[in-house]
Structure 1
């Protein structure tokens, strides 16, 4: 019995699309060519995979068993091809990176750009997603490496988690916000009086953020009353309302320089975010992944220094925290 990977892919396409015509279009084949491929596969197996007598092509009992394994076989074949390509070096290699939005803005995109500039033959794919999605993309092997917030990753032996940097964050508001006129130190109760605009908050930080939000029963994350995944959008909303936001101050620098946003005089040691790399422990590391990590590490040295300098500048100009 001899099967070819493309025949398995063709059978999977027929099952997914429920017929030969739509499957042939999806596989960029003529319908007769696809029919021959399936016929040859059934001849090799010695059993029919599809019932062609009904109006819609359906799986036979043999087909159901075969297709349960087909997707796993194709995924393993793709993984083997990826590892072999990685071993050949970066000239014809591939790299897929999933980044959180903040990680991408701080150093991730620049690291990818520098890597591609040094290795123009590298085929790359960059995804920016919420932190939880970055982890899921790594687990499902849809990206080679994740780069983002790692504070929620504990007791995960199936993952390799490597810390890269810790960035202090600040609460920010519009210029002229009522909280900026206070003579006394700000408290959590003061923040609770105003809506929070931003991304979902990890459960570990639940008690530390403004309380006007709700808990997601599926993920354990806390959703603010103004849910905004994009920092630019959050800054626009905060600049035009009494809502508060939180961010790494370096990403707010253009808004602060234009005088549209201000940093609240509320500084706490817990108000920080830990960033790092996320990979599968069982997955071979490609050379491109290691070089991407090197680029990020180098850039993050600069990012940390710039963020710390900006923090001192903005808090010198603000009222002292309690």
Structure 2
């Protein structure tokens, strides 16, 4: 049912004549008459009777009137809600982030977003890149920021690559390796290595570098960065992370970086990922733009 016919019906009710109603809706009287006839055809009943002093509602017309008012109110409410979403005054946005970007980038982006658009409900999922990909394709989130190493050839994804931060090895300030020089990867294997789940290519590099010492045997894997930091500061474990992640810890003096030669292959490749060929909602598009702004790509 065309809302134009419904609006014409309401105008005729309020004006009481085709002449006055046609002026209100900016139609000729014959065009308005055809619109009313089409509505009557769709409903299968006559809605108006012509009288000496104009038009009056039939019994069917009187029965239709409250429903017409409700439909017009609902249409106006829908228009206002769509407009509010376009203006980022209301709505909901579901996004995802890997553990490292959550602390190195997304925390700042999310803070700015909720400050500028308080009417948007922001739901943030922190997870590994495999599960975030599934959530994206299942329409549970609109975009996510994570390592793209294993996703660059995925036909279902559109990727905007971000600048890549330096990856550092770090340990407790009083760790035996804290002041050591000439450290190589094999020296790290004397201690537990705590890290998040890493992409397969980085995992292969780690295993290859560890092979001469019999492999990486003392490993702690956890996707919670705060817990990894607590493990490192409370034990002799060593960790590997992008420098921005541990910047505050380094500034506090609780941890220090270890200069390790031969680890250039351990690098991150972060990006913003969304479904290929699917436009983002207004809120998601604005969030995407903010990510690029904070990553200095805009």
TM range (shorter): 0.5 to 0.7
1:287 lines up with 2:282 in the alignment? yes
The answer (yes or no) to whether the contact 1:256–1:262 under 8 Å persists in 2 is yes
Q: After TM superposition, which residue ranges in structure 1, 4 or more long, deviate above 3 angstroms?
A: 84-89, 180-183, 210-213
Q: Match of 1:257, SS?
A: helix
Matches within 5 A, 1:306-317: none
TM-score (norm 1): 0.59
For residues 294 and 212 of structure 1, do their structure 2 counterparts lie closer, same or farther at Cα, with a shift above 3 Å needed?
same
- Structure 1 position 231 matched with structure 2 position 225: yes
Which residue of 234, 239, 246 maps to 1:252?
A: 246
Match of 1:198 in 2: 195
| Count of residues in correspondence between the two structures | 210
Rate the CA distance shift 1:278–1:228 in 2: closer, same or farther, 3 A.
same
Structure 2 residue corresponding to 1:276, chosen from 254, 271, 280? 271
Written as runs of structure 1 = structure 2, the 5 A alignment for 1:206-217 is: 206-209=203-206
1:174 alignment partner in structure 2:
172
Residue 181 (structure 2) pairs with residue 187 (structure 1): no
TM-score, reference length from structure 2: 0.63
Q: Classify the secondary structure of the residue corresponding to 1:288.
A: helix
Name 1:38's counterpart in structure 2: none
Which stretches in structure 1 are left out of the alignment for 5+ residues?
1-83, 214-221, 303-322
Structure 2 unaligned regions, length at least 5: 1-81, 211-215
- 2: CA distance between counterparts of 1:196 and 1:179? 13
Choose 204-213 or 272-281, whichever is displaced more. 204-213
| SS of equivalent to 1:301 | coil
1:7-58 Cα offsets, whole Å, 9 max, x none, are xxxxxxxxxxxxxxxxxxxxxxxxxxxxxxxxxxxxxxxxxxxxxxxxxxxx
Seen in structure 2, the aligned counterparts of structure 1 residues 88 and 293 have a Cα distance that, compared at 3 Å, is closer
Aligned to 2:113, which of 86, 108, 115? Answer: 115
SS where residue 98 of structure 1 aligns? strand
Q: CA RMSD of the aligned region, Å?
A: 2.7
**1:85, distance to aligned residue in structure 2 (A):** 8.3
CA distance in 2: counterparts of 1:210 and 1:244, whole angstroms: 16
How far apart in 1 are the matches of 2:253 and 2:170? 12
